[in-house]
Amino acid sequence: MTAATYLPLYPAIPEIVLAIGAMALLMLGAYRENSTQVVNLGAVMLLIAAALIVHWLPNGVTFGGSFVVDGFARFLKVLAFLASAVAIVMSLHYQAAEKQRMFEYSILILLSAVGMGMMISAADLIALYLGLELMSLALYVVAASNRDSVRSTEAGLKYFVLGALSSGMLLYGCSLIYGFTGTVAFTGIAKATQGGAGIGLIFGLVFVFAGLCFKVSAVPFHMWTPDVYEGAPTPVTAFFAAAPKIAAIALFMRLAIGAFPGIVPQWQQILVFVAIASMTLGAFAAIGQHNIKRLMAYSSIGHMGFALVGLAAGTAEGVQGVLIYMAIYLAMTLGTFCCILAMRRAGGAVENISDLAGLSRTNPALAFFLALLLFSLAGIPPLAGFFAKYYVFLAAMQAGMFTLAVIGVLASVVGAFYYLMIIKTMYFDEPAEGFVPMPGELKAVLGVTGLFNLLYFIYPAPLLQAASAAAKSLF
Amino acid sequence: MILPALFFYLFAGACIASAFMVIAARNPVHSVLYLIFAFVNAAGLFVLMGAEFLAMILIVVYVGAVAVLFLFVVMMLDVDFAELRQGVLQYLPFGALIGVVMLAELLLVVGAWVIGPGVPRAITAPIPADITNTEALGRVLYTKYIYYFQAAGLVLLVAMVGAIVLTLRHKAGVKRQNIGDQVARTRDTAIEVVKVRPGQGL
């Protein structure tokens, strides 16, 4: 026998901290009554601590090469952990007001954040699948967490059944890829596909991409999104729209660029189709919506289409564009959901766009911030959302994909229509009954995200440099 | 070499026949029993291939747990399976037609199948012949694959937490046993010594 060798565990410290912390908080919540607030606070602290550790840790590879920490992983992990922490903060008031206090909510979000970290760092197919399943399983449960509401349980069940189907497709693709390359490691697959790939491998690639498209809710695997977004409790929807999208896009990029650099034209055409279909559907289907959560679902489908434009370019500039896009998308979405969570009258929460009528007179500050975020989502300069789109379209043009970029610009013009409709309702319609005052933590999140969107153009360098360094580490 | 071939055809034939009976049987309980039979035959096929660990797992997990669970559900739920399945045979020709078309398409695709030039190089580790596959799995499961093992453990933890979150209901007004309270009782807190004078009572 050889002497025992110890694994260098340090690259995985953030995930280990989160997992052990989640188990400790689970014990605390289960054995101490009324400890929900302590658990929530502990979960937020753990996520922030994990994000800081990720920021400070050096790069490294562990677990036999299946767990990689590079600049790319660190950039996205910080985003995903912070988005999860903000999602817990945003749920505090809602849970108290709706009498749905339960400590398991933040624990499930913690465990799902562990899954996201594993997905972002995954460097082989098994780690990819396990991370994805850990994240999704927790998401299914939180979608159904308001179990007395038929809509919430329906959302959870729908998400679960369709998610299981997509996992099946992903696994089928993984097994085909393994069968045709003889390895599960991304580096090994890259080596085996250097000189092109046979039909069997392309088959597997298509199935894996289909599974991942489901997770980022890109067309044609988007059907679950509007129903789940509408049915799930609003803070859960805010969480769904932010952190899991980051992890899934990260996985998409690492798989496409890390494992299949030899067959770029083959996956490029899939991504071009998916991006165009998502952008167009997101732009047109949102127009007829009355429920603002449903509208945000279609908006997120469209935004995933825009992000995939950058990946379809297949270059370092494209990946940098996607990274910036995801960071800005995160700020826009979390801010907008703060406004949606603030839509609460004495009788309870409301979610129709018509409820926002005349908000500029009843609550001018909220109306201003919501208008700002919606302008940013529409991509109107000089707000951050414009720059997000600018970088991905620029990368697509540099890669010679002019048609894709033109269709993207046209789709964002159509998409601007429904964002402007909401702003028109807020500023020019007869005022409806006002909302109850907004809780402090939502104000803080809204303020930070709103100001980020407003002032990004003054000093974009830090984000640009971080994203550029992160993108280079992938190639 | 005739014996393994014979056993292969025995297992494979029985597996396909029982799989067909799963969907053709009228009684749902019979369907589940046929399903168990199909699993056992598939396990036999695994043994023939030298994957005895997989065969045992198939028996333990699928026959021992999953199929028994099915059996419970079938017996507990009052679902009229015969009515649900009405018309299956009616649609059989159409289904078979679609199946044949799909098979033809797949054959056309497989006909043009080319294995990439880098593939044979990537297949490196040959299967060692001198150890059983249970031992081989045991050697790597907690060492090389510790990450996957722990990750799978976390997935199961989430499943457990999820099942409890979605189903457990605390009813108000139900008296529960508190073992701590029971054990902490002493003579001083539990009994009271009273002197009773004759003729007076308490």
pLDDT single digits (tens) A152-182: 899 999 999 999 999 999 999 999 898 888 8
Cross-strand bridge partners of residue B76:
none
- Say which residue, A330 or A35, is predicted with more confidence: A330
d(CA A464, CA A446): 23
Say whether B165 and A141 touch across the interface (CB within 8 A): yes
Chain B residues in contact with A64 by the CB 8 A cut-off are 144, 147
A199 to B112: CB separation less than 8 angstroms, yes or no: yes
Q: What average pLDDT score do residues A277-297 get?
A: 92
* Angle between helix A150-181 and helix A199-215 axes, rounded to 10 deg: 160
**Mean pLDDT over residues B84-90, rounded?**
69
A contact residues 191-210, partner B, Cβ 8 Å cutoff: 191-201, 203
3-state secondary structure of A351: coil
Q: What is the largest CA-CA distance in chain B?
A: 109
Option in A114, A141, A182 nearest B162 (CB): A141
Q: Do A7 and B146 make contact, defined as CB atoms within 8 angstroms?
A: yes
**pLDDT score at B121:** 56
Indicate which of A16, A116, A199 best probes the interface with B, i.e. most B CBs within 10 Å of its own CB: A199
Model confidence at A346, pLDDT cuts 50, 70, 90, reads confident
The DSSP call for residue B128 is P
Round the CA-based radius of gyration of chain A to a whole number and report it: 21
What residues contact A185, with CB distance under 8 A and at least 6 apart?
A65, A66, A123, A124
Residues of B in contact with A23 (CB under 8 A): 157
Give the burial string for B164-202 (b: 16+ CB within 10 Å, else e).
ebeeeeeeeeeeeeeeeeeeeeeeeeeeeeeeeeeeeee
Confidence label for A39 from pLDDT (cuts 50, 70 and 90): very high
* Contact list, B113 vs chain A (CB under 8 Å): 198-200
Indicate the fold that domain B1-79 takes in CATH: Four Helix Bundle (Hemerythrin (Met), subunit A) (1.20.120)
Does the beta carbon of A122 lie under 8 angstroms from any beta carbon of chain B? Answer: no
Q: Give the CA dihedral A304, A305, A306, A308, nearest 10 degrees.
A: 80
What amino acid occupies position A345? R
Cβ distance B151 to A134 less than 8 Å, yes or no, reads yes
More confident: B142 or B120:
B142
Going by C-alpha positions, the residue among A111, A309, A295, A143 that lies closest to residue A233 is A143
Amino acid A120: pLDDT: 94
- pLDDT classification of A3: cutoffs 50, 70, 90: very low
Residues of A in contact with B118 (CB under 8 A): 181, 191-195
DSSP B5: H
For residues A208 and A181, the answer to whether their CB atoms sit within 8 Å is no
Whether A26 and B161 lie within 8 Å, measured CB to CB: yes
pLDDT at residue B84 above 70? no
What pLDDT does residue B85 have? 64
- Tens of pLDDT along A409-447? 999 999 999 999 999 999 998 888 888 888 889 999 999
In this prediction, residue A433 carries a pLDDT of: 83
B interface with A, Cβ–Cβ < 8 A, is 109, 112-119, 121-124, 144, 146-148, 151-152, 154-155, 157-159, 161-162, 164-166
Q: Best mutation site among B119, B149, B156 for testing chain A: the one with the most A CBs within 10 Å?
A: B119
DSSP state of A438: P
Q: What is the gyration radius of the CA atoms in chain B, in angstroms?
A: 30
Nearest to A339, CA basis, from A302, A377, A307, A306: A377
* Mean pLDDT across chain A: 90
Residue whose tokens read 């790939």: A197
CA distance B158 to chain A (A): 6
A323, A327, A328, A334 alpha-carbon torsion, rounded to 10°: 150
Residues A197, B162: C-beta atoms closer than 8 Å: no
Both tokens of A331, joined, read 């700020």
Model ipTM value: 0.91
* The pLDDT of residue A1 is above 50: no
Backbone angles phi, psi at A345, to 5 degrees: -105, 180
Look at residue B118 and tell me whether its pLDDT is greater than 70.
no
Q: Decide if A9 touches B, using CB distance below 8 A.
A: no
C-alpha A50/C-alpha A418 separation (Å) is 38
**A361, two tokens:** 């007179």
Percent of chain A with pLDDT over 90: 62
Inter-chain Cβ pairs, chain A and chain B, closer than 8 A: 104
A177 in Cβ contact with A189 (< 8 Å): yes
- Per domain, the residue ranges of chain B are 1-79, 129-165
Q: Does A118 touch chain B (CB under 8 A)?
A: yes
Compute CA distances A202 → A196, A262, B109, whole Å: 10, 12, 12
CA separation for the pair A447, A456 (Å, rounded): 14
For residue B128, the model assigns a pLDDT of: 66
If one counts every other C-beta atom within 10 angstroms of the C-beta of residue B69, the result is: 11
Pairing mode of beta strands A344-345, A60-62: unpaired
**Interface residue A23 vs chain B (CB under 8 A):** yes
Which of residues A54 and B23 earns the better pLDDT score? A54
Summarize pLDDT for B11-32 with one digit per residue, the tens.
999 999 999 998 888 788 888 8
Q: Which residues of A134-146 are buried (b: 16+ CB within 10 A; e: fewer)?
A: bbbbbbbbbbbbb
User: Which candidate, A297, A260, A288, A281, places its Cα nearest to that of A125?
Assistant: A260
- Of A317-326, B21-30, B39-48, B140-149, least confident by mean pLDDT is B21-30
Ranges A227-231, A453-457, B87-91, B195-199: which has the least confidence:
B87-91
